[in-house]
Amino acid sequence: MTPENQPRARGEAARDPLHRGSNPELVIDVEKLNKSFGTKHVVRDFSLQVRRGEIYGFLGPNGSGKTTSIRMLCGLLKPDSGRGTCLGYDVVRETAQIKREVGYMTQRFSLWEDLTIRENLEFVARMYGMRDRKEAVASALRELNLHERQDQLAGTLSGGWKQRLALAACMLHRPKLLLLDEPTAGVDPQARRDFWEEIHGLAAKGISVLVSTHYMDEAERCHRLAYIAYGKLLATGTPDEVLHLFRLRTWAVSGQPARLVALAAELHGEPGISHVTAFGNTLHVTGEDEAELEKAVSKYFDEKDLAWRKAEAGLEDVFIHLMQSAPEAEQ
């Protein structure tokens, strides 16, 4: 009998890198996960591969199933079907091991508002059975500049500070993988920048991050992106790859606000135009075919109060286009 044929204990198999999914470099490797609530099919055939040290952006409109997908990855929800691994552990059977090594930051602040910052961190440290609890809490307080506020009740913190605390709490046990669910929603721009500095620092240390967001500038700071709508994964790839999924062409037009509103209505649904988006005092008119797009907009070129120029299609244009071509009729 060769060693390979001998039966192994399950725990042993889990520790053996050869048995960690097909590729040890993949911290998340799931295939065709499905989840329904009642009759509502919330996540459909969700497959995702995240490499070690990667910052993976997770985008999609509200209610598209991002939170549900993340919860399935860390064992908080049981998929109806599908299989896969997270940090090499089975997402259905080995949720206990996953929980120990993953840091999950919930979309809604979910620490205890009637505990102080320090008490929250100490509690979390205890839950992970950390031996060096005191030092870990002290260094987390120091690193995130929470030291002066350590005795403040979490419920009295402002949004930005709550977000810092939540991040500190989910990183306390030094997880290998962070799952961050809209961590910067409702946080001011400076705090968002600081936050992303922090995330890039972590990635440099080999920690992998899956982060859901609505902000396009944040999407651009990720190594890879996934876009989900109506529970379906519509696109994955690097920001550059996603940007060039379609040969999108865009014209920008500026003018009187009232005229622009009327123009948007006129252009909407015209042949050659896939969508029209307002950005402050400009409209972005986007289409897939250069000639057809130009044909649609050229009749307005002579209008004297409008200034037309060619523009780059952005990620947002791609996502809007994706949404429109998605088979939403299924809903």
Partner 1 sequence: MRFSWSRWVGIIVKEFIQLKRDRLTFGMIIGIPVIQLILFGYAINSDPKRLPTAVLSADASAYSRTLLAAMQTSGYFRIEKNVADENELEEMMAHGTVQFAVTIPENFGRKLVRGERPVLLVEADASDPAAIGNAVAALAQIASSSLNRDLGGSLAELKAVASPIDMRVHRRYNPEGVTAYNIVPGLLGTILTMTMVLMTGLAMTRERERGTFENLLSTPALPIEVMTGKIIPYILIGLVQVTLIVVAALLLFKVPMQGNPLLLYFVVLIFIAANLTLGITFSSVARNQLQSMQMTFFFFLPSILLSGFMFPFRGMPDWAQWLGSLLPLTHFLVLVRGIMLKGNTLDELWPAIWPILAFMLVVIGIGLGFYKRTLD
Ligand X SMILES: Nc1ncnc2c1ncn2[C@@H]1O[C@H](COP(=O)(O)OP(=O)(O)O)[C@@H](O)[C@H]1O
Pick the closer one to ligand X by CB: 81 or 158. 81
Q: Which helix (H) or strand (E) holds 139?
A: helix 133-143
- What is the nearest approach in angstroms of Mg ion to the Cβ of residue 233? 15
**Which DSSP category does 52 fall into?**
T
Near ligand X in 67-106, by CB under 6 A: 67-68
Show the tokens assigned to 140: 């987390």
**Which DSSP category does 119 fall into?**
H
Please, are residues 69 and 211 in contact by the beta-carbon 8 Å criterion?
Answer: no
Interaction of residue 49 with Mg ion, rule CB under 5 A: no
Interaction of residue 108 with partner 1, rule CB under 8 A: yes
* Neighbour tally for 93: CB within 10 Å: 13
Given 47, 123, 216, 235, the residue binding partner 1 (CB under 8 A): 123
Which is nearest to 181 in space by CA: 82, 105, 293, 74? 105
Please, are residues 41 and 34 in contact by the beta-carbon 8 Å criterion?
Answer: yes
Interaction of residue 216 with partner 1, rule CB under 8 A: no
Given 21, 26, 27, 60, the residue binding ligand X (CB under 6 A): 60
Binding mask 30-69 for partner 1 (x = CB under 8 A): ----------------------------------------
* Neighbour tally for 220: CB within 10 Å: 14
- What is the nearest approach in angstroms of partner 1 to the Cβ of residue 291? 51
Please, are residues 228 and 69 in contact by the beta-carbon 8 Å criterion?
Answer: yes
Q: Which helix (H) or strand (E) holds 260?
A: helix 257-267
Pick from ligand X, Mg ion, partner 1, none: which does 82 bind, CB < 5 to 8 A by kind? Answer: none
Pick the closer one to partner 1 by CB: 23 or 110. 110
Which is nearest to 33 in space by CA: 297, 233, 178? 233
Pick from partner 1, Mg ion, ligand X, none: which does 288 bind, CB < 5 to 8 A by kind? Answer: none
Pick from Mg ion, partner 1, ligand X, none: which does 60 bind, CB < 5 to 8 A by kind? Answer: ligand X
Show the tokens assigned to 282: 């400009």
Residues near partner 1 (CB under 8 A) are 71, 74-78, 96, 99-100, 102, 104, 106, 108-115, 119, 122-124, 126-129
- Residue numbers at the binding site for ligand X (CB under 6 A): 37, 42, 60, 62-68
